[in-house]
Structure 1
Amino acid sequence: MRVSTSQLQKLTIFTTVLTGGGVGTMYFLLQKKFAESDYHRLAVQELEACPFAMESLGAPPLKVHNIRLTDRHNLVNQQTAQIKIPVTGSKTGGYLYTSSLREPDTHRWSLKQAVLKLREGQTIDLLNSQPSAAQTEAAEHTQNRPLAMSRSKN
């Protein structure tokens, strides 16, 4: 039985569209699963709760982008999650590096590390409630304000 060239072309186009749709759907569902996960949600909440980091980004509005599935920084298993989340604000953008552990008893995720690295090279530790002197100096320098030198020592 002979198959015409036009039938083979139609079959090729159909297979390509079907495969592309399947890959696109899989990518969308994986991104949705990451965005809805507790370890992702906890990290973004920690970023939103840090006024210094939000101001440095120029947020709100804060835009949280899809993670790169092929990035070697993104490792997730049953007990640990280490992800690199791209974020942007109106001033700049950067990556939110996070590390979370899953408690064996409660099966709840807890955030162990959350560090925002901005494009300009500035690093902000979100789990440290007070910005370090270097972070404060860098922020004041970028805003072209004189550096306030009055710091209380314990």
Structure 2
Amino acid sequence: MRVSTAQLQQLTIFTTVLTGGGIGTMYYLQQKKFIESDYHGLALQKLEACPAAMESLGAPPLKVHNIHLTDRNNCITQHTAQLKIPVTGSKTGGYLYTSSARDPNTKSWSLKHAVLQIREGQTIDLLNHPSPVAAQT
């Protein structure tokens, strides 16, 4: 049985499109899983609650970008989550470095480390940053 070149080309194109669609779907679902996670949400809440960090970025509006899946700073296990979240505002952008731990009893996540590193080199520790009320007194 002979297969024509045209049939092989069609098979190649079909396989390529199917594989690309599968990879795209997996990428989308993985990013969605990060965005819906508690450890991701806690970090962004902490960033949005820090006026100095938001002002440095030029936010609002705050734009949260997709996590780079191949970045070695991103590592999630059952008990720990370490992320490098790209963020931008109207002035500049940077990375939000976070580390969270999961309580084995309650299964809830708690933020252990949250630092915003801005492109220009400024670093803001979101967990040890003085609150606006404390700064006024």
Match of 1:130 in 2: 130
Residues 65-101 of structure 1, C-alpha deviation per residue, up to 9 Å, x if partnerless?
0000000000100000000000000000000000000
Match of 2:134 in 1: none
In the TM superposition, residue 27 of structure 1 has moved relative to its aligned partner by 0.3
Cα distance in 1 for residues equivalent to 2:94 and 2:19: 33
Q: How does 1:74-85 map to 2 (within 5 A)?
A: 74-85=74-85
Match of 1:68 in 2: 68
Cα distance in 2 for residues equivalent to 1:129 and 1:48: 13
Residues 19-46 of structure 1, C-alpha deviation per residue, up to 9 Å, x if partnerless?
0000000000000000110000000010
Residues 92-150 of structure 1, C-alpha deviation per residue, up to 9 Å, x if partnerless?
0000000000001100000000000000000000011318xxxxxxxxxxxxxxxxxxx
Q: How does 1:46-65 map to 2 (within 5 A)?
A: 46-65=46-65
- Structure with the bigger RCO (C-alpha within 8 Å, sep 6+) is 2
Cα distance in 2 for residues equivalent to 1:113 and 1:46: 10
3-state SS, counterpart of residue 87 of structure 2: strand
Q: Which runs of 5+ in 2 are unaligned?
A: 132-136
Match of 2:119 in 1: 119
Q: Which has the larger radius of gyration?
A: 1
Percentage of matched positions with identical amino acids: 78
Match of 2:43 in 1: 43
Cα distance in 2 for residues equivalent to 1:78 and 1:32: 18
After TM superposition, which residue ranges in structure 1, 4 or more long, deviate above 6 angstroms? none
TM-score where L is the length of structure 1: 0.84
Within the alignment, does 1:5 sit opposite 2:5 as a pair? yes
Within the alignment, does 1:97 sit opposite 2:97 as a pair? yes
